[in-house]
Amino acid sequence: MIIYLIVLFALAILAFLGRATMSSIWDWIGILILVVFAGGRVYTGADYLSYQLIYQGDYQPGQVERGYLLIQNFMNMIHVPFNAFLMLWAACSLVLYCLFVRQYFRPAIIPIAYYYCRFFFLRDMGQIRAAMVCSICMLSIAFIVKRRPIPFIIIVAAASLIHVSALFFLLAYPFCRIFEHLHMKGTVLLLGAGFLAGTVATQILSILVVRFLPRYAPYVTNPAYVGGSLFDPVTLMHVLICLLGFYILEKDQVSKAFIKNTDAFRVLLLIYLFSTLTLLALARLTTISGRLSTISTTVETILLPTIVYSLMPKYTRTFIVATACLFIFGLIFILSGTYHQYIPYVSIF
């Protein structure tokens, strides 16, 4: 556990240095730390053994997408060890994520520190395919902003070759176009409709999945995959971020730390609203709602710091974001018991 806290505090220090100097060097130092941390692990993380077996060729037909298999088979062909593959995969995934963040927020080390607390363990130290897909899809958002659907579709379709859940992100484009003029009142109505849908959609979807997609039936029938709540702390946090985001947008208070225009901020906010509505509508189906919303939820790493920098007093902003990182780390990694899957941390070094 101590090693994870050390990394957290190291990223917090880099965030303060990044804000003080506005230098990109701290962004890349932070990414390097995470790459080495995720790529250098041995038998650490719930999915380590699963991916190791897949890398060794021990998998069932249809278990893994062809794009991922093509990449890993090529690495196998040139005799790259599994741990070297993990390091290269983490490097690609996290560098792509950093490039995405640097398009919208400076210094990028602040969202990177938040990413560590919010997503890093379940993605880069767990579901590494999901980590890569999320980073790739984030780069496609620029084409939603520019209203260029073809490049957006191509990028997301390519990502789906690594993990099929990327296809759900295709809905983000029409969602952003349909609700591009959405304001606070409409947001409240949509969130209210999401709460109502969450009370009935689960039963309907469960029947449809069992009848037409029996392969995925365990995700709607097995207690291990269901049992979420509309009032889950993470879901409520989603709702709060949506409301605060539309508040600063309507008041024209978006911080200059967000380096794009308000149209870009609106797109990120709508994508996050899309993920929030997914969580609400499928609240009882924990695994399905999580997998379908996880890509869109990645923009939270930019939205939350932007909201803090927009609303909080000047000399308290970075400290408040650091406090939020500590809170999220405690909530998601410690209180949830997730840390049991990651201790002890064993490294190749």
**Closest Cα partner for 118 from 254, 208, 238?**
238
215 has a pLDDT exceeding 70: no
Q: What confidence tens digit (pLDDT) does each residue in 333-347 have? A: 988 888 888 989 999
Tell whether pTM > 0.85: yes
Q: What confidence tens digit (pLDDT) does each residue in 128-147 have? A: 999 999 999 999 999 999 99
CA torsion 235-241-244-250 (nearest 10°) is -110
Question: Is pLDDT larger for residue 205 or for residue 197?
Answer: 197
The predicted model gives 44-63 an average pLDDT of: 89
CA 183 to chain centre: 25
Q: What confidence tens digit (pLDDT) does each residue in 276-303 have? A: 999 998 877 777 788 889 999 999 999 9
Q: What confidence tens digit (pLDDT) does each residue in 54-108 have? A: 999 888 887 899 999 999 999 999 999 999 999 999 999 999 999 999 999 999 9
Contacting residues for 292 by C-beta, under 8 A, at least 6 apart: 165, 168, 278, 282
**Closest Cα partner for 205 from 276, 272, 288?**
288
211 pLDDT band (50/70/90 cuts)?
confident
For residue 142, what pLDDT is reported?
A: 97
34 pLDDT band (50/70/90 cuts)?
very high
CA torsion 265-270-275-277 (nearest 10°) is 140
For residue 295, what pLDDT is reported?
A: 96
SS3 125: coil
Backbone angles phi, psi at 105, to 5 degrees: -140, 135
Portion of the chain with pLDDT greater than 90, in percent: 77
Indicate the length of the chain as a whole number.
Answer: 349
225 pLDDT band (50/70/90 cuts)?
low
The predicted model gives 174-200 an average pLDDT of: 92
Q: What confidence tens digit (pLDDT) does each residue in 304-313 have? A: 999 999 999 9
Tell me what the pLDDT averaged over the chain comes to: 92
Q: What confidence tens digit (pLDDT) does each residue in 172-184 have? A: 999 999 999 999 9
For residue 224, what pLDDT is reported?
A: 61
Domain chopping of the chain, boundaries: 1-126+314-349, 166-311
Tell me if 105 sits within 8 A of 307, measured CB to CB: no
